Structure 1
Amino acid sequence: MMRRITPISSPWSNAPTPSQSTNSSMLMSRRIFSPSPERPELAPAAARVQAQVLTPTTPLQTPPTTPQPTPPPTAPTLTPTYNISISSASTLPPHDLTQCFDLISLTSADAYRDSSVGWSPTKKRREMKLPDMKYLVVRRVQTQDRADGDAGSDRATTEKEKQKGGEGEKEKKEGGRKEEEEEEEEEGDILGFLSFMITYEDGLEVIYCYEVHVTPSMRGQGIGRRLLASMMEIGRRIGMEKAMLTVFKANVSAQRLYEALGLVTDESSPRPRRLRNGMVKEADYRIMSVRLDGGPYV
């Protein structure tokens, strides 16, 4: 039940990976060994990934919503958008890491308990903090659109500030900083995330998905599909041969999504075993993969 996965030096981090045994993303216990020598030739591609794919944050398509009454002309309207940002385990704020762990616990803890792996919060937290672990995080961002009716009040405010001179400019700057702080607070909680690591699998360089979770209220909006496609595009751009993940066989809906994205049962996925008493024992998980010779995926 143990699989040996050797992280290679990540294009985003030069930090070494400690040797330790941890739970895998979706179900398996994985043994992590020391990384192989540096791969400087991957750095330019990694920079392009961060610049072109996920930096600045990549907006997701806003899911359809029930039509709402048109607000009065002078009332500001809030338009929800969804952004993906990329972080490493070391740069992801502790509060965000806790939210990600809570989402795993909410959506998958029971599945872990019912499996041959079991559920260990301590091991899962330790795995989430591995130096080479990367995170794609989805948040809702509210953008405020002012109606035309606000133009008159804006012009009036500007005239008053001109009369006040420097004092008006100072108030304007302070007000701008305050609005920025409020805007950051309005970004809200994490709606979904995907964690991945660059590893060796059976002698091939692969991008391995450890976790992909979406809050129950946001399922069916295409967020999970976009996260997986973004990970596949990252792998393609930095020259990985395959994208891989592990999934519980009981999670039928997740397997349908992965198959729709082109993933199939990997050759390393465990086969049924015939026991001495004649019974056939099947693993309760499935390893899936897709070759990254297509794309672009996003």
Structure 2
Amino acid sequence: MSAQAASSGHATVSADGTTKKPASRRKPAVASTPPPPTLIERTNALHLEDLKSRFLDGSLLAFAGPSDNASTSSYHIELYTSSSLPEATFNDCFDLLEANMSTSYRITSIGWHPRKKKEEMKHPAMRYLILTAVAGGSSDDINPAAEKAREGTAVGSMFIGFLEFMITEEEGAEVIYTYELDLVPSHQKLGLGKKLLDVAEEFGKRVGVEKAMLTVFDSNKGARRFYEREGYDIDEISPDPKTLRNGLVKPPTFHILSKSFIPPTND
């Protein structure tokens, strides 16, 4: 479930989240006043605490829900920038992504390239929603192997999954683009992916972008059904099937989906 910049159709972006454009070879005759920063540039220039206070809905960040053993756990979602994400948590995210999705990447036109993927994950404009859980019992009941106490993470909390996103632009539209959404296998199909997606979408709405976008692999039918239930549909920039010289039609290996935040107008 990635938007790999180099090959998935998602534009290569600069450090501020805007699409890179080739520099003009022609120098202006007279120095002109630079344009004011765009919504994307202003948003991605904000410090972490400003992002939290302006764009996060606190009521969505802490909740109780089912755990892997049918008991109830307390869950928490925390926002990080790529630069503030603790290294151990970054490694958790990458290891989970590699375990869950590397095979799916390999069978697509995108391919699996660990070094490039890590570089993408550390992009200055990348943001992370980290999901952790504390079991319903005492902290003594938690598996010590899963109980890593990390900087910025409560003692006794367990890493459950993450959503990786960027406020950026696609074909001139201001969007929130979900790059990855992954959960540990023991906590899948418990409604936790929807919780992460709800927080990301609310973040995008509060920023004021036009729509939410993401990439889903054609082989991941379950993810496709999940996003469609959440209101996502094929975006106009999603790749079309290709007709080969022998007449065979080759379907795309991934699809770009989107969900508009702009209410439809009544003509």
Q: TM-score, length-normalised on structure 1? A: 0.67
Match of 1:252 among 221, 240, 247: 221
Shift, 1:219, TM fit: 0.6
**Deviation string, structure 1 residues 2-56 (Cα, Å, up to 9, x no partner):** 6352547xxxxxxx3599xxxxxxxxxxxx637x963376589x97862363559
Counterpart contact for 2:163–2:180, Cα < 8 Å: yes
Please report how far the alpha carbon of residue 142 of structure 1 lies from its aligned counterpart in structure 2 after TM superposition.
4.9
**Structure 1 residues 48, 260: closer, same or farther in 2, change over 3 A?**
farther
What amino acid is aligned across from residue 20 of structure 2 in structure 1? F
Spell out, residue by residue over 1:127-165, the C-alpha distance to the aligned partner (whole angstroms, 9 max, x if none). 1100000000000135778xxxxxxxxxxxxxxxxxxxx
Is the 8 Å Cα contact of residues 61 and 199 (structure 2) preserved in structure 1?
no
Distance 1:127 1:219 in 2: 25
5+ residue gaps, structure 1: 9-15, 20-31, 69-78, 146-180
One-letter amino acid matched to 1:5: A
Instruction: State how 1:58-73 maps to structure 2 within 5 Å.
Output: 58-63=61-66
Kept in 2, the 8 Å contact 1:207–1:243? The answer is: yes
Q: Which runs of 5+ in 2 are unaligned?
A: 1-6, 22-34, 139-150
Higher helix share: 1
Post-superposition Cα deviations, 1:154-199, rounded to whole Å, max 9, x if no partner, equal xxxxxxxxxxxxxxxxxxxxxxxxxxx9x932113x1010000111
Partner of 1:197, secondary structure, is strand
Residue of 49, 52, 55 corresponding to 1:50: 52
Aligned to 2:38: 39
Stretch moving more, 113-122 or 102-111: 113-122
Q: Find the partner of 2:165 among 196, 213, 235.
A: 196
Structure 1 residues 98, 47: closer, same or farther in 2, change over 3 A?
Answer: closer
Provide Cα deviations, 1:208-261, integer angstroms capped at 9, x if missing partner.
000000110001111111111111111111110010000001101101110011
Deviates more, 1:268-277 or 1:256-265: 268-277
Q: Deviations over 1:44-77 (max 9, x none)?
A: 9x97862363559811332168788xxxxxxxxx
Aligned to 1:293: 262
2:24 match: none
Where do 1:206-221 residues align within 5 Å?
Answer: 206-221=175-190
- Corresponding residue number in structure 1 for 2:246: 277
| Matched AA of 2:37 | E
Mapped partners of 2:230, 2:163: distance in 1? 15
Output the CA distance in 1 between the equivalents of 2:69 and 2:248. 53
Q: Distance in 1 between matches of 2:184 and 2:124?
A: 25
Q: Does 1:261 align with 2:246?
A: no
Conserved 8 A contact 1:193-1:227:
yes
* Distance in 2 (alpha carbons) for counterparts of 1:60 and 1:276: 54
Equivalent pair of 1:133/1:197 in contact (CA under 8 Å) = yes
1:125 aligns to 2:118 (yes or no): yes
Is the radius of gyration larger for structure 1 or structure 2?
1
Aligned-partner SS, 1:246: strand
Q: Which amino acid aligns with 1:265?
A: I
The answer on whether the counterparts of 1:271 and 1:283 sit within 8 Å (CA) in structure 2 is yes
Please tell me whether the aligned partners of residues 54 and 84 of structure 1 are also in contact (alpha carbons under 8 angstroms).
Answer: no
Alignment pair present for 1:114 and 2:107: yes
- Over the aligned positions, Cα root-mean-square deviation in angstroms equals 3.3
1:236 equivalent to 2:205? Answer yes
Query: SS of 2:11's equivalent?
Result: strand
Rounded Cα–Cα distance in structure 2 between residues aligned with 1:227 and 1:99: 17
What pairs with 1:169-208 in structure 2 (closer than 5 Å)? 184-188=154-158, 190-208=159-177
User: After TM superposition, which residue ranges in structure 1, 4 or more long, deviate above 4 angstroms?
Assistant: 40-44, 46-49, 54-57, 64-68, 142-145
- 2:11 corresponds to: 5
Structure 2 CA distance for aligned equivalents of residues 96 and 123 of structure 1: 18
Q: How many residues are matched?
A: 227
Deviation at 1:113, TM superposition (A): 1.4
Q: Contact 2:67/2:187 (CA < 8 Å) preserved in 1? A: no
CA contact under 8 A between 2:75 and 2:131: conserved in structure 1? yes
Query: Aligned partners of 2:195, 2:239: CA distance in 1, in Å?
Result: 28
